Structure 1
């Protein structure tokens, strides 16, 4: 049974939820989204209150919890209104919730039948984020819709999309989103596949040097043919898409390709072949989210 009844599973950009913690990164993310990424969408600004409970011995000295929460709620609404008035989007809605940020943002996305969740990079300490996991990573677990991590965005809509796919069922949805965005922005799309180098090394163990080289060439040709067929089946115009196959470790090759081709948006699935669907974020996706210097759109599974 679909836990989000009534939702269309087709890629669309009609309603966007933006998580706002009033940091520079979250404000920059929503401004970029409103002006460049989804200017025609309804924009739902969400701030989540997480008011800590004081220890019992301090409670007599402090205002009541309800008073603190109400003051915090009103203050957040005022700041959201001021931010909203500065955004070019015509349709806007404000939401203030209480609890854990990732859970409440995902909750709003579900309630509002949103198509996308946008967040800015949480803080600047990447080493700490690598240990604890970012808000965006946690949202990928919780969100019923794709999550856009906005970082390093320029003052323009994306023009060069890098779209890594593998054989997992997620590939179809990733290509659907890439096609939507490519057409919307008039962007050049590079669909990318990485052949894991370990496959070739395994073949080398049981093959002669010449046979090993021939197998490597055959693998490359087979991967290119497979990739082109996936692109054709997804309905891309031939002049709007490139295909490329690399050999190596997937996350490293994806990040290297993004830098080499100047990608200003990476679109990939929340996990690839072999990951536990809806339970874990794939290791490649996690590495790309942590290592990319451009916005990353993580496409989540269709919640059928």
Structure 2
């Protein structure tokens, strides 16, 4: 029997992970999935507790902390139609997050890009990067300043616009279709963008760059227009070709157009580099927005946890 769809939300008890948990809650409640809340303890910390107090560390202690944290974040409001599960692991955070995601057959990981430092070590940041490099399911990364929504309607107000930076490879079509479903579900406009990087080559001086750049832009505009044409007009899709550093331009567009959600691909390409690539991670660092990262292996946000063009949930 196939397990019920699940959203995994790793937390480190920081303010940043409060916002991530609220997003995880809103998604789980809207789609009626399980909500798996995970805490990963540092082995050195558990050993220090044992040595410093003479008391053997028990995972139930952390599980109890998780439950209290959850109640504070959710203000004690029960989640209707959502089964909440609390998991505790010991080890390297990224490895444990990916392990639990696979073990629990999770369809989405929701986590903050940054968290605590000090006794609990740096939970996010480098951890988020590794999760993004190795994940086979979509990851929704929330900025540390994001306090999270009360519900999906509140999330829609926070998002405002969905920005979809594409590299115009075959994977871009899937990226656009996922963003289209989200645009339908949240009732917000969609902006598709492609950033042309400057030509950097020792041969640049010998080339007739003005004519080359005109041709590059024309081709990009045509390809982007074809992609946007697959999005229904009522969603007010927009195509935007920019020029410059991809990550910086995407972050600038997100700020200028008040796009609260960026849908990016984690696939590699000749232009963007290896899987995930520096561009995707730099967008995470630079853009003040939610980032939904889609691995090439994922067929969608998850067949069981996605909305089609009519906003109908598939299960």
TM over 0.5: yes
Task: Verify the 8 A CA contact 1:178 1:189 in the aligned structure 2.
Answer: yes
Q: Of the candidates 255, 274, 296, which is equivalent to residue 276 of structure 1?
A: 274
| Matches for 1:81-120 after TM superposition, within 5 Å | 82-83=71-72, 85-86=76-77, 88=79, 90-99=81-90, 100-120=92-112
What is the deviation of 1:295? 1.0
**Contact 2:5/2:105, CA 8 A, preserved across alignment:** no
Whether contact under 8 Å (1:39, 1:88) holds in the other structure is no
Gaps of 5+ in 2: 300-315
RMSD over aligned Cα, in angstroms?
3.2
Rounded to whole Å, the distance in 2 between the matches of 1:179 and 1:91 is: 26
Distance 1:120 1:140 in 2: 12
Classify 1:175/1:89 alpha carbon distance in 2 versus 1 (closer, same or farther; 3 Å).
Answer: farther
Which residue is equivalent to 1:10?
A: none
| 1:283 to partner: Cα distance | 0.6
Taking the aligned partners of 1:81 and 1:124, their CA distance within structure 2 comes to: 17
> What SS does the corresponding residue of 1:192 show, helix, strand or coil?
strand
Shift of 1:101: 2.1
Aligned partners of 2:165 and 2:263 also within 8 Å:
yes
The residue that corresponds to 1:138 in the other structure is 130
For each residue in 1:37-61, what CA deviation from the matched residue of structure 2 results, as whole angstroms up to 9, or x when unmatched? 8633422222223342548xx94x6
Q: Which residue of 1 aligns with 2:68?
A: 79
User: How far does residue 284 in structure 1 lie from its aligned partner after superposition?
Assistant: 0.4
| Residue 23 (structure 1) aligns with | 14
Q: Measure the CA separation in 2 of the matches of 1:145 and 1:136.
A: 13
Counterpart position of 1:213? 210
CA spacing shift, 1:183–1:69, aligned 2, 3 Å:
same
1:180 has 2:178 as partner: no
Cα deviation digits, residues 30-82 of structure 1 (max 9, x gap): 11342378633422222223342548xx94x6425xx3124534433542563
Out of 290-299 and 33-42, give the one that drifted further: 33-42
Following superposition, the deviation at residue 89 of structure 1 comes to 5.1
Q: 1:183 to 1:38 in 2, by over 3 A?
A: farther
Q: Distance in 2 between matches of 1:106 and 1:246?
A: 35
- How far apart, CA to CA, are the structure 2 residues paired with 1:260 and 1:203? 35
Indicate if the aligned counterparts of 2:164 and 2:262 stay in contact, CA closer than 8 A.
yes
Tell whether the 8 Å contact from 2:138 to 2:298 is kept in structure 1 after alignment.
no
Corresponding residue for residue 147 of structure 1? 139
- What SS does the aligned partner of 2:39 have? strand
TM-score under structure 2 length normalisation: 0.75
